[in-house]
Amino acid sequence: MKLFFIFLCLIWWNRFSSQQKEIDQALHYLDKSNEFSGIDNLKSLEYAKKASLIAEKINHSEKKAESYLFIAKCLYVLDSYKESLEYIQKGQKEDAVKNDVVLACSFKEVLALDYFATGFEEQGLKEYFDIINLIKSNTDEESIRILSRTYATVGAIYLNQNNYKAGHPFLDKAIKTNMKVSVKGHIFERADLYNIKGYLCLYDQKTDSAYIYFKKSFAEIEKDNSISKYVQYIALGDYYYQIKDYNNALNYYLKTLEDLKKFNLDKNESSLDIFKNISEIYGILKNSEKEKEYLKEYQKRNEIFQKERKEDFQASIKSILNTKTEEISFLRKRGTQTIIAIIAVAILIIILINRRSKKINKIKKKALLEAKTELIAQKEIIIQKDDEKRRLEHRINDAFDEVIELARKNDPSFLTRFKEVYPDFCENLLEIYPDMLNSELTFCAYLKLNFTSKEIANYTFVTPKAVELRKNRFRKKMNIASDENLYVWIGNI
C-alpha cells in the first residue's frame, strides 16, 4: 500500500504542476487574442480557440468561460452569429459564469449583439435590461463600467430608432455612472459616451448641445498624442455638415483621413463614408475636380472592402471547421492518455495481487470494463465529430458555390435556390416590405452575396450606372439613410 500511496502522490504533484503551466499557457493565448481583437479578428479567434482547447483539457471552468467569451465576440465581429450563439450557450453553462455576475453580464452583452444582428431586437433589449437589473447594485469598478456601457448602448439603440426622447435619459445615466470610476486605462470610454450623447442631440435638432458634447469628447483625448482621434474628428465633421457649415465640415473630414493614415487605420471601414462625404461637400462647393477625385477613391475602397469582407467571412467559416479537427485530435489524445493511465493502474494491481488476490482481481475486472466502455464512448464521439465536420463542409461549400454560380449565369432558378439557402433573409425582408417584387428580391439577393455594382451589371446585362440608380431607388423605398452602408444594411437582415 505504501508503494501505491507514493505513486498517487507523484501523479497528483505532476498533474498539479502541469495544470498550472497549462493555465498560464491559456492566459497567454487569451492575451494574444485580446491583442489582435479589432485588428485581425481571425487571428484573435485562432488564439481564443487554442486557449479553449487547453481549458477543456484541464477542465478549468473559469478559463473555459473566458475562452468561450472571446470566441463568441470574434465570431460576432466575423458575422458568424449562429456559431457565436453556440459558444455563448456553452459559456453560460459553466459554473464560473453561474457564480460570477460580471462574467454572466459579459456573456449577455455579446448575446444581445447577436440578437440585434439577427433581427431579434426585443430579445436584445431584454438582455440589456437584464444586465442593468443584475449589476446596478454592484459597487466594484468593472460592474460600474458594464452598467455605464449598457446604459449607453440602450441609448444608442433608441438613437438608431429615432426615439430621441427615450434615448436621452439612458445616455445621461451612462455618463453619470461613468463618473464614478477612473478613466485611467479606459480613456475612450467617457469620450465615446459624450460622442453618443452628441449625436443624440444633433439628430434631435439640439445642435448647440451636440457641439458641447462633441467638444467634451475631444477634450477627453486631446492631450494624448499616442491615440487616434478619428472618431472625434468625424463627429465634429458631421456636426458642421448638419448645420451646413461645409468648409469646417470639410476641414474635420480631411483631418480624419490624416489621423487614420497616421495610425495605420486608413483601411478602416469608417474611411469609406468620409471619402463619400468629402466628395459631396466638394460638389456643393462647386469643385467638380475634387468631387470626382474623392468619389472615385470612395468607389475603389468600397469595392476592395466588400471583397475583403467576403473573403474574411469565408475564412472565418474555414477557421471554425478547423477547430472541429482540433477537437477530434484532442479527443484522440485524451483517449491515448486514458489507455496509459489504465496500464499504470493494471501494473499496480499486479504488484498488490499477491496480498489481496481475490479483492484486487474484482477491482481489476471492474476497472477494465469501465475503461473499455469509456474507450467505446470516445470512439463514438470521434466518429460523430468526423461526420459532423464532413456534413458541415459539404453543406456550406456546395450550397454557397451553387448559389454563386446560378447568380453569375443569371439563371431563372437563382431566386428559388437562394430562398432555400437563405430562407430567414428572404422572410425578414418580406416582413419589412411585403409588396416587394421578385425582381427586387433578386436584386437584394445579389447585394446579400456581396456582388459589386460592376459584377451585378455584368451578370444581369445592364450598365453599372443602372445598378447604382437601382440602389438609390431601393434606398428611398426602404428609407435607408444615405450615410448608411447598403451592404451592411442588407447583411444585418
SS (H, E, C) 309-332: HHHHHHHHHHHHHHHHHHHHHHHH
364 falls in which pLDDT band (50, 70, 90)?
Answer: low
Closest CA to 25 of 56, 1, 4, 2: 56
Q: pLDDT by residue (tens digit) across 271-305?
A: 788 999 999 999 999 999 999 999 999 999 888 87
Is 19-135 in CATH node 1.10.3720.10? Answer: no
Start and end residues for every CATH 1.25.40.10 domain found in the chain: 19-135
Mean pLDDT value across the chain: 82
Looking at the predicted structure, is the pLDDT value of residue 8 above 80? Answer: no
Q: pLDDT by residue (tens digit) across 189-238?
A: 888 999 999 999 999 999 999 999 999 999 988 878 888 889 999 999 99
Q: pLDDT by residue (tens digit) across 412-444?
A: 898 899 989 999 888 888 888 888 888 888 999
Rg (CA), the chain: 28
What does the DSSP 8-state code read for residue 40?
-
- Whose grid coordinates read 455576475? 101
The CA distance from 137 to 14, in Å, is: 43
Per DSSP, helices labelled H in 136-186 are 141-160, 164-178
Phi, psi of 354 (to 5 degrees): -65, -30
In percent, the amount of the chain with pLDDT more than 90 equals 44
Q: pLDDT by residue (tens digit) across 121-166?
A: 889 999 999 999 999 899 999 899 999 999 999 999 999 889 999 9
End-to-end alpha carbon distance in the chain: 67
Q: Give me the pLDDT at residue 69, please.
A: 94
- Whose grid coordinates read 459584377? 455
Looking at the predicted structure, is the pLDDT value of residue 185 above 70? Answer: no
270 and 230 Cβ atoms separated by less than 8 Å: yes
Q: pLDDT by residue (tens digit) across 382-404?
A: 456 555 555 644 555 677 888 99
Looking at the predicted structure, is the pLDDT value of residue 242 above 90? Answer: yes
Phi, psi of 234 (to 5 degrees): -60, -45
Q: Give me the pLDDT at residue 162, please.
A: 93
Closest CA to 305 of 266, 277, 269: 269
Long-range contacts of 94-98 (CB under 8 A, 24+ apart): 94/61, 94/62, 94/64, 94/65, 94/68, 95/61, 96/61, 96/62, 96/64, 96/65, 97/65
Q: Give me the pLDDT at residue 270, please.
A: 67
The more confident residue out of 352 and 334 is 352
